[in-house]
Each structure stands twice: as structure tokens, then as C-alpha cells.
Amino acid sequence: MAIPLFNLAPDLTVSRLCLGTMTFGEQNSLPQSFRLLDKALDSGINFFDSAEMYPVPQRAETQGRSEEYFGRWIRDRNIPRDRVVFATKVSILRLTRFVYRSVSGPSGQMTWIRGGPKSLSATNITQAIDSSLLRAGTDYIDLYQIHWPDRYVPMFGETEYDPSRQFCSVSIEEQLDALGRAVVAGKVRYVGLSNETPYGVMKFLQIAESCPDYPRIVSVQNSYNFLCRNFDSGMAECCNHERVSLLAYSPLAMGLLSGKYLAPDKGPADARLNLFKGRYSEGESRYDLLNAFIGKATKAYLEIAKSYGIHPVSLAIGFVLRHPIVASVVFGATKIWQLQEVINSCEVKLSPETIADINKVHSRFPNPCP
């Protein structure tokens, strides 16, 4: 079975499945990570996503291992660099309720990353790029992404914008200038955003047009799944008209849509929401099955999978893949059989009747996990 491909940029072709590496170095050891990468590449996946702060939950002892493991795999397997697409991200602390904290929860100030980066200054971006290149042992990054905005934005379960929470942030001009210098230096090929809003996408595009040295964003990596279809509001219109592709992360809503957490035993002990209980606050609050709305919605989608005889993973990922603006689905797997389930989803074609039933559930339970 061939994994479909997508032209993300004129000379950047990516597989429509992208293996996320944020478990590498925490849930997955180096040998386990190598086996997952081997299986992915052998199956036709050429697109791999990381971030300087990975793995998660983040801590000083493991920071950067995900990039490091990926780079070691390329070298140990003698894989031609142009055979794989390497994407990674610059991370900063997120200002939430006027307190800086990391995106993965209150597990520290990430002081081990440049002393706790509080902005996307040119210095921070440049140092982050150089450090990622060093850890991965590569000369260039194919797609470099801003992990989340350097400004107040409601995200990870927050839905309402509060103007009083805005703070002084680094200008988009400075961010694009630093990214543009990295492109000119050959360190980065293309740039993208992540966890962005319509305002952010349009401002980055508008400002890039004002200066030929500023790179134009080619993608935005936002959450998209049955339980979070917020992208289809303002973001979809922006991206469609401006030719910015969606890299859809969390297609299984952190595993909820696989059905494993609804098992009598509440899922395997090594499943992320069980293994890191109490250490992954954004994930636990966003994807909380104790929330009746989320629980009922999840069960309804699992019932659709059962009624049509489709594996829940295939239903969830097949739905995301059919979106006309989605370039690739960014997913995680800690085991080979999980990876195979995702790969199998490429064979599934959802009928109009299936889509209609999915949309009926969405109408009853709209976006319970924004």
C-alpha cells in the first residue's frame, strides 16, 4: 500500500501521514524509536515532526532527545538526507493567567532551554535553530515552525479571547527577519506556524509581502479531529484563499478516539493519559472523558465506527485525510501495531452516509475539545 503524497511547497513533497516524535526519549527508548522510524519509512512515510522541547512531559534530563534520536537514526541507517522531510519547532513559555508556564503543563519553566525562553526574539529563534541542527546532526531543517504564538492567544481548551491578557510581545517583523536569515543561510528551507489563529496567519502573510527577505509561511500545524473542528471556522477560509496547508495534529484526540480509554480498565497503564496523570495538565483538561459532553461525543463516534465495520482509528484519521486543506496528518505511536493501524487508515474511503452520520454527531456535540 502506497502512502499518498502532497506537494507542500514547489520542491517539498511530503507523505500525507507524518510521524510525530514527541514520545522519543521518554515513552520510547532509542531502539524502540529506531524501529518505529524504520517501519514508517518502509511504509512510505517520509515526513517526521519534532520540537526543541520534546519529548513530553518535558524535563531537563530528556530535552532534545526526540531531535537527537531522529538524527542518530538517519546517520546509523545511512539514509540519504533528501529522502526524509525533517520538521521541528521553536518553543517559548506560554503566558497563561499572567504566569509563564510551558505548553505541556506546570512542570517547570523550561529553564534548561535558553534560561526559560519568554519570547521569540531574533536571538532566541537563531539559537533554537542552531541547537536543533546540532542535536539532529543535520545541515538543514526542511520545515521550521513557531510552536505557538508570541502573544496572548486562547488555546488548549480556552475558547474566549480576553483583551486584558495581551502582553508586550516580539514583533512579527523581527520573527520573520530571523527566520529569513536562517533561510538565506541554508539552515531552513521553509517556515510554518502552529497553534495559530486567523489573525496570526493573515498578519504573517501580510508582513511577509512587505519585504522580499521575509519568508512566506507554507503551513500551519493545528489540532483537528472529531472533537476539535475549530479549524473549519475562520482558519479554513484563510488557509484556502492564501494557499496555506494544514498539518493536522492530534487526529485521535490524544487517543480518545481509539476507544482505549473507554475500556473497563480505563486503558493500558502505559497509555499517555494514564502514564503521565497529573503531569500533563493541558492534555488532561482538554481531553477529559469525565466531562460528560466529551464522553458522549467520543462514544457516539465509536458507535459510528462499529456500525460501519470500520476500525475507530481508520474512521478518525480517514476523516481528517479527506479534508481538502490537510496536507498531512501528524500522529504519534509508541508501538509498531499502533503505527500499522494508522497506516491502514489510508486504505479507508468513507462513504457519504458515513460522513453524514459523523456530521450529525458533530451537530449534537460541536467541538467539545477546542
3-state secondary structure at position 228: strand
What does the DSSP 8-state code read for residue 28?
A: B
Active site residue 54: yes
Asked if 92 and 109 touch (Cβ cutoff 8 Å), the reply is no
Which amino acid belongs to residue 44? G
Specify the DSSP element, H or E, that contains 237: helix 234-242
> How many other CB atoms are found less than 10 A from the CB of residue 38?
14
Q: Which candidate in 54, 224, 280, 287 is catalytic?
A: 54
The DSSP secondary-structure symbol of 2 reads: P
Q: Rg of the Cα trace of the chain?
A: 19
Contacts of 249 (CB under 8 A, 6+ apart): 20, 49, 221, 222, 223, 224, 330, 331
Are 261 and 295 within 8 A, CB to CB?
no
Q: Find the helix packing angle between 352-364 and 292-308, rounded to 10°.
A: 170
Residue positions annotated with a catalytic role: 54
